[in-house]
Amino acid sequence: MLFEDIGQGAQARTLVVEDSDWAQLTRADAMRLTTLFLAARRFEEKILQLDKLNLVHGPAHSSIGQEGGAAGCIAALPIGTLMNGTHRAHHQCVAKAINALYDEGMDPAASGLSLRMRQEMQGLMHEILGLKDGWTGGRGGSMHLRRAELGIMGTNAIVAGGIPIACGHAFAEKQRASGKLMVTFFGDGAVHQGATHEAMNLAALYGLPMIFFLENNKYAVSMSVEQSTFQTELLTRPQAHGIEAVKVDGMNPFAVWLATRWAQAHIEREGRPAFILAEVYRYYHQSSSIPGSAFGYRTREEENAWKARDPWLFLQRELTARGILDADALAAIDATVTDAVEAAAASCVEGTGSATRIRAELWPAASSVDDHLTSDMREFDGARFAEAEDFHPDDMESLSYIEAMARTMGARMAEDERIYVFGEDVANMGGGTVGATRGLTQTYADRLVNTPITENGFCGLATGAALSGLRPVVELMYSDFFLVAGDQLLNQAGKIRHLFNGTASVPLVLRTRIPGAEGYGSQHSMDPAGVFALFPGWRIVAPSNAFDYVGLMNSALRCQDPVLVIEPQELHKHKTLVPKDLDYCIPIGRAKRVSEGDQITLLATLSMVDRCRQIALETGVRADIIDLRTLSQRDIDYDTIGRSVMKTGRVAIVEQTTRGASLGALIADEIQRRYFDYLDQPVQRVTGRWAPPTVSQALERAALADEDDLRTLIAGMLRDSALDHSQGNVHALRA
């Protein structure tokens, strides 16, 4: 047998510092590097002190020992660089905040830290302690830190959760040709997450200007690298994705500084991402001031060996020995940093020793708990809201649902260069898999972005791009695929505005297709509304015809919140009159009465709207039929529903989806709470069965609600109503 070498495009290497390299580090660079390192170290030490006093609510993941990686990286990069990170991020955020405010020519040894630096350090301290004057009002605490004006785009409590989002920030900066870099920090535990690999693939595929910075501290909580993976050389991961990578001693901040300069030059020269693996060591356990040896997963000998390599000892030794900074300058920097940290802590607390307490007036008001779940909708000021009856027939044309999808997207893309469409095959086959981008592939070839089959990755990228000011539209080939991207869509995009106290918005549109009775089986046929409705940061719109699709999509593209647009394939060929200019919005949160009656209220969604009308006409039932159109719980139009219930006294919620995925139970509960006194009988529901639809045509039909289910329910409700009325007359005669 003969095996031929296939070759490898990307190199993985180790950086070795030579004496001649030190000539690159000027006194000014050394002061910056030292200041960033000490700011991180002293800040972390103070956080641990406060934690021992039980003043830090929740975890406080210490990075003491591994600050040399973050300080060396950030000190080497332009102050406008963007960054995000994971839950162990105090050191990164302190270093980035100080660097973002570090003026050229600054001499912290002589003049100390600036007032703004001290203020930001205080804001970060308040944030970690959960106080109202923190960076995001105390909502983020220790793990979720954001200060966009300083380039800190948000850290993440989900291991690897921020890495796809970092790709989105880098994508946006590349499209704007801003020249800014994005750095995403993560630990060795994240290397095994699928999100990391999806992100690296996307960054390499799209040539994104970003640095993947791995702080390999050898342990994910207590799991060593050797316990976590067979292939312990972690540089093989970026190499597999075609990303140039370098390993560096993270206990040597200068070596990290050199590695970062290499990465920056590589990105600028090649237009491709870079990967840095810094070997570091955290001196304490996962989230405490207790060493890991106390828990038995590492030895004191190992810890002592790494402590002998403390980056602070290294800086003091090397900078003085090489005549770059003297001991007095180092002491002066240490003193000014320590003073700023002590002042930040003092601004939060009162009392001393075990009697130290958070100052009561600094807590956020309990009444603000629901603030900033979603936008206040000011983005709709000046919008043209309209319904079909507002247009003259001569101004309308007949469009199918699928034609409206493509035409609306084209009209809005012509007006707004921030709109990008992401998804599998969206730029192929002359309009994607169903024709939703038909006619757009030539005009907007650079803004229709084919993605690999990596829903978690490209949904995260879209989230980051939205955070950076683009307006991404994500097409999921089938709605069930959102489950693959559940973290990025539900845990990230849907929570970000509230988590960061309104300082961030995610104007992302997610288009999802429901095939209906097309034989795609249970893994392709889910109505996602019931799941997305559980997350109050999402808006959900459900257009039942082409006119509504245009108006609701226009609103979705205007909204500053993530919006789920549900697109039933069953409706794709249905035609409706639509204004030729396609320039109108339908308010998010407004239902539509499509038929008026006084016997029964039918609240319908999607393809069941027309079915309700057909059955009402067929049976002669005087039904008040309301197309809900908006399905996010806080946006459901209960005013319109209430007026109908007060008139008819009976209501049924009509959905095609299966019983377990139905949103109707939540709506029924709310109706009975609001309008119980007006109901003549309990709220009823039409849904499919409990089982999801399978490929068998017979079982698929049985699983989804149909006309027979609707007829049976209406007949039963009206029969019960007549019986109640008859019994009421008998009771009256007897009286």
**Rg of the chain over all Cα atoms, to the nearest angstrom:** 30
User: Residue 524 catalytic?
Assistant: yes
Query: CA–CA separation, 639 vs 644, rounded Å?
Result: 9
End-to-end CA distance of the chain: 102
How far, CA to CA in Å, does 119 sit from each of 128, 726, 730?
Answer: 14, 75, 78
Say which residue the tokens 């070759």 belong to. Answer: 7
Alpha-carbon dihedral sign for residues 682, 686, 687, 688: positive
Query: CA–CA separation, 489 vs 501, rounded Å?
Result: 18
User: Considering only CA atoms, which of 505, 519, 438 is closest in space to residue 472?
Assistant: 505
Q: Which helix (H) or strand (E) holds 186?
A: strand 182-187
What residue type is 580 in one-letter code?
K
How far, CA to CA in Å, does 524 sit from each of 489, 519, 553, 558?
Answer: 18, 9, 23, 29
Instruction: Provide the b/e sequence for 85-115 (b: ≥16 CB within 10 Å).
Output: bbbbbbbbbbbbbbbbbbeeebebbeebbbe
State the DSSP code for 630.
B
How far, CA to CA in Å, does 157 sit from each of 60, 390, 559, 613?
Answer: 11, 48, 27, 48
What residue type is 1 in one-letter code?
M
Query: Which of these is catalytic: 126, 524, 572, 574?
Result: 524
User: Considering only CA atoms, which of 98, 126, 19 is closest in space to residue 344?
Assistant: 126
Alpha-carbon dihedral sign for residues 73, 79, 83, 89: positive
Paired sense of beta strands 396-400 and 471-476, if any:
unpaired
**Helix pair angle (455-467, 162-176), 10° resolution:** 50
Q: Any idea which residues carry the catalytic annotation?
A: 524
